[in-house]
Amino acid sequence: MAMPVGIDDVARAAGVSTATVSRALRGLPDVRESTRKRVEEAAVRLGYAPTPSAVSLASGRTRTIGLLTPWVSRWFHSNAIEGACQALRLAGFDALLYSFQLEHDATRTPIDLDVLRRRVDGVLVVGMTMTASEVALLESLGVPLVYVGSGPPEQVRVHVDDVATARLATQHLLDLGHTRIGHIGGYPEQRTPWATEVCRARGYRDAMRAAGLPDDPDLLAYGRFERDGGRRAAVELLERVGDLTAIVADSDEMAFGALEVLRERGVTVPGRVSVVGVDGHELGDLIGLTTVAQDAVALGGAAAGLMLEMITGAPVDRDVVFPVELVRRASTRRH
């Protein structure tokens, strides 16, 4: 194991001062081209690489972005993280992963954001509905923030139009002649108005109203944004609504849960009930789930891009909205 080579070693080898090495290697001006060449040559020859912590301490920058996420193994999150990671690496930035297992949304333990302090140059909030106080806490870190998936309107965010997305899903069902359409979504209580849960619920309601259908609370069921949440909500819905002919689930994973319940109860899909989800989960294809797809990887990548621009001080779009696409598959049909 070769012993560590520092910036002074390079300086000595190149016959210049450490300051010049620093400038030369970082491409700063005020360095003669011939000198820079010589320094770079020496650096390569010695296999020099700056010590990150020393750079951070001296410069105040970490070249690291924090990824704040409630889960890493869920579809949206893992894909968005993947996209962000790639983009960050390309720019020479590192990704610090902070996954907070958020239990019950109500009694959720306060996130210890202090672990981020002075650790990152910016943070990407991935698919996480934060409370107002959490947002304030985040802002107190004093670094750029980008919200992926959903975020406060006044913040920089990269997302799809959740209202339109749910409306599209619902409209698809309406177009097929359904009217008794149940909605399976995330718990809207204690949510800020911009939460995905809230927006998608609104999209559903908007579509129903626009079709002249009355608001019917029986058609609404909630659960956590995952398969099991979808299961519970579906059970509720089936027990409450006898003439249900369709379900729009706010995520594919919830839809999968609903499909399970339907199958267990012998309710054929799309024979008796049509189901549409939201996300564009890879396995939706195999399962034959009609869905409104979004490109989570691209969202993550775009968010990372924005973040990098913000760090360099460039002005950025405060609100980047990605398109969604209805993917018709076997789980929906005319009523």
Partner DNA sequence: ATCGTCAATGTAAGCGCTTACGGTCGCTCG
Partner DNA sequence: CGAGCGACCGTAAGCGCTTACATTGACGAT
The binding site for a second copy (CB under 8 A) comprises: 1, 4, 49, 51-57, 62, 64, 67, 71-73, 75, 78-79, 81-82, 85-86, 89, 94-99, 101, 114-115, 117-119, 140, 142, 227, 256, 259-260, 282-283, 285-287, 297
> Taking CB within 5 to 8 Å according to partner kind, which of DNA, a second copy, none is near residue 26?
DNA
Distance from C-alpha of 42 to C-alpha of 51, rounded to nearest angstrom = 17
When binding is defined by CB under 7 A, the residue of 1, 2, 34, 101 that contacts DNA is: 34
CA separation for the pair 292, 327 (Å, rounded): 6
**What tokens does 112 get?**
């210890």
Binds DNA by CB under 7 A, chosen from 26, 37, 117, 209: 26
Closest CA to 288 of 335, 315, 264, 255: 255
Question: Which region among 2-10, 132-140, 179-187, 319-327 touches DNA (by CB under 7 A)?
Answer: 2-10
- Contact predicate 161/324, CB 8 Å: yes
Query: Judged by CB, which is closer to DNA: 46, or 213?
Result: 46
What tokens appear for 298 in the block? 């691209």
The single residue among 45, 51, 109, 209 that binds DNA, judged by CB under 7 A, is 51
Q: Which lies closer to a second copy via its Cβ, residue 71 or residue 187? A: 71
Shorter beta-carbon distance to DNA: residue 19 or 115: 19
Q: What residues have CB less than 8 Å from 283, skipping those under 6 apart?
A: 256
| Min dist. Cβ of residue 141 to DNA (A) | 15
51 or 109: CB nearest DNA: 51
Give the torsion through C-alpha atoms of 49, 52, 56, 59, to 10 deg. Answer: 10
Q: Find, among 118, 111, 79, the residue nearest to 96 by Cα.
A: 118
Contacts of 94 (CB under 8 A, 6+ apart): 63, 64, 65, 88
Which residues bind to DNA, rule: CB under 7 A? 4, 6-8, 15-20, 22-23, 25-26, 29-32, 34-35, 48, 50-51, 54-55, 57-60
